[in-house]
């Protein structure tokens, strides 16, 4: 059994994107086992277990991941994760991976795949609402799939946006107000907001939105009016209804599960596509166990591991 302490280092982002795309293709064909995430609640956080099996890719395993919002004060990441990959023939654990960094990248990959298929153009400007680790992961992953010709960034803290813009100056990254940032071909929202911060009137026709931030009941970034104008694609209907961008609008009766246009798997399979240049498209990402398996399979080719005695 191998242990990978830093499996994200040196990963080729395009390889990751392709592996995650392959996993969504299997998901779209209904060829995966992926039971709903199981939650355990702690006084100041939680942990989730995410098992899955993708027969066609000969991949099975489980990610365990916590969310403890006060961790940064203690010098620890809010989210930490371990992925265990099993041999399908024998059930033997083949590898345990520190999936803390991988979790960022596999979420970025889903956003990049959605953008490649759903953005109306091959060459885009990207508006980032939120400039944390996930914003960086999205931008890196998207720019490996299509041409990014300009970036606009907004953060609740101006200094964070400025730092981000410096780091990504190679994309001609500028900071500004939310309406300024929304005037882009692709918008990526990655905040922990619990009230809409992206207003309907700022989003012009033809925009593609990766709605990444909402990943728990009660979280919401988009004015629900945007959903009504858009084709809404989810990663997984059960998870999206439970904890994705659409969870609050559904609970409030402002959106209904029947209005979901399809899954990212449907998009990858060509069953769902943007109707015309005017349509707004939204990808509602909650994060799937199959993404974790996909990125683990790429990372395990990396070579940087310790051999552990087992069984």
**Catalytic machinery residues:** 63
Contacts of 304 (CB under 8 A, 6+ apart): 4, 5, 6, 7, 9, 10
CB of 58 to a second copy, least distance (A): 10
Q: Evaluate whether 212 touches 286 at the Cβ level (below 8 Å).
A: no
Residues 6+ apart with CB under 8 A from 60: 52, 53, 54, 85, 86, 88, 293
Q: Which of 16, 17, 59, 84 binds a second copy (CB under 8 A)?
A: 84
Task: Kindly indicate which of the ranges 14-22, 52-60, 119-127, 193-201 contains the residues binding a second copy, using the contact rule CB under 8 A.
Answer: 52-60
Shortest approach of a second copy to residue 10 CB, angstroms?
Answer: 16
Kindly provide the residue ranges of all beta strands, DSSP E only, lying in the chain, ordered along the sequence.
2-4, 38-42, 45-54, 59-67, 81-86, 93-98, 123-129, 147-154, 173-175, 186-189, 208-211, 230-234, 260-263, 280-284, 306-307
**Token reading at 283:** 């990808």
The position carrying tokens 């990978």 is: 4
Q: Assess 30 for contact with a second copy (CB under 8 A).
A: no
239 touches a second copy (CB under 8 A) = no
Q: Quick count: other Cβ atoms within 10 Å of Cβ 111?
A: 27
Q: Is 93 in the site for a second copy (CB under 8 A)?
A: yes
Q: According to CB under 8 A, which one of 15, 31, 47, 94 is a site residue for a second copy?
A: 47
CB 311 → a second copy: shortest distance, Å? 4
Packed helices 100-118 and 13-28: angle between N→C axes, nearest 10 degrees: 70
Q: Return the number of the residue (47 or 180) whose C-beta is nearest a second copy.
A: 47
Among 16, 95, 96, 118, binds a second copy (CB under 8 A): 96
Are 262 and 272 within 8 A, CB to CB? Answer: yes
The stretch among 68-76, 113-121, 162-170, 182-190 that binds a second copy (CB under 8 A) is 68-76
The residue from 9, 10, 29, 33 that contacts a second copy (CB under 8 A) is 33
Site track for a second copy across 269-308, x = CB under 8 A: -------------------------------------x-x
Which region among 72-80, 159-167, 184-192, 243-251 touches a second copy (by CB under 8 A)? Answer: 72-80
CB 111 within 8 A of CB 142: yes
Residue 150 makes contact with a second copy by CB under 8 A: no
Q: Which of 143, 85, 31 is nearest to 310 (CA)?
A: 85
Q: Which residues bind a second copy (CB under 8 A)?
A: 3, 5-6, 33, 35, 38-47, 49, 51-53, 60, 62, 64, 66-68, 71, 74, 76-77, 80, 82, 84, 86, 88-93, 96, 98, 100, 306, 308-311
């Amino acid at each position: 059994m191998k242990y990978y302490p830093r499996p994200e280092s040196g990963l080729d982002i395009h390889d990751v994107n392709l592996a995650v795309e392959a996993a969504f293709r299997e998901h779209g064909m209904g060829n995966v086992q992926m039971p709903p995430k199981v939650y355990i609640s702690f006084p100041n956080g939680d942990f989730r277990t995410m098992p899955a099996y993708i027969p066609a890719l000969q991949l099975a395993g489980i990610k365990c991941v916590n969310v403890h919002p006060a961790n940064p004060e203690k010098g620890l990441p809010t989210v930490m994760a371990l992925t265990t990959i099993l041999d399908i023939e024998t059930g033997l654990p083949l590898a345990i991976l520190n999936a803390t960094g991988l979790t960022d990248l596999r979420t970025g990959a889903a956003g990049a795949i959605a953008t490649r298929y759903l953005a109306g153009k091959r060459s885009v400007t990207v508006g980032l609402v939120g400039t944390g680790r996930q914003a960086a992961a999205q931008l890196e992953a998207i720019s490996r799939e299509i041409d990014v010709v300009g970036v606009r960034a907004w953060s609740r803290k101006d200094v964070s946006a400025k730092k981000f813009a410096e780091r990504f100056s190679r994309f001609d990254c500028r900071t500004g107000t939310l309406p300024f940032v929304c005037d882009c071909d692709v918008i990526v929202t990655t905040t922990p907001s619990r009230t809409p911060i992206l207003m309907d009137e700022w989003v012009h026709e033809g925009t593609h939105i990766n709605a990444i931030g909402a990943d728990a009941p009660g979280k919401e970034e988009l004015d629900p009016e945007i959903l009504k104008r858009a084709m809404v694609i989810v990663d997984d209907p059960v998870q999206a209804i439970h904890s994705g961008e659409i969870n609050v609008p559904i609970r409030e009766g402002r959106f209904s599960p029947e209005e979901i246009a399809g899954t990212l798997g449907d998009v990858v399979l060509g069953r769902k596509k943007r109707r015309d240049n005017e349509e707004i498209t939204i990808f509602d990402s909650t994060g799937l166990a199959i993404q974790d398996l996909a990125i683990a399979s790429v990372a395990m080719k990396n070579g940087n591991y310790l051999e552990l005695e087992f069984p």
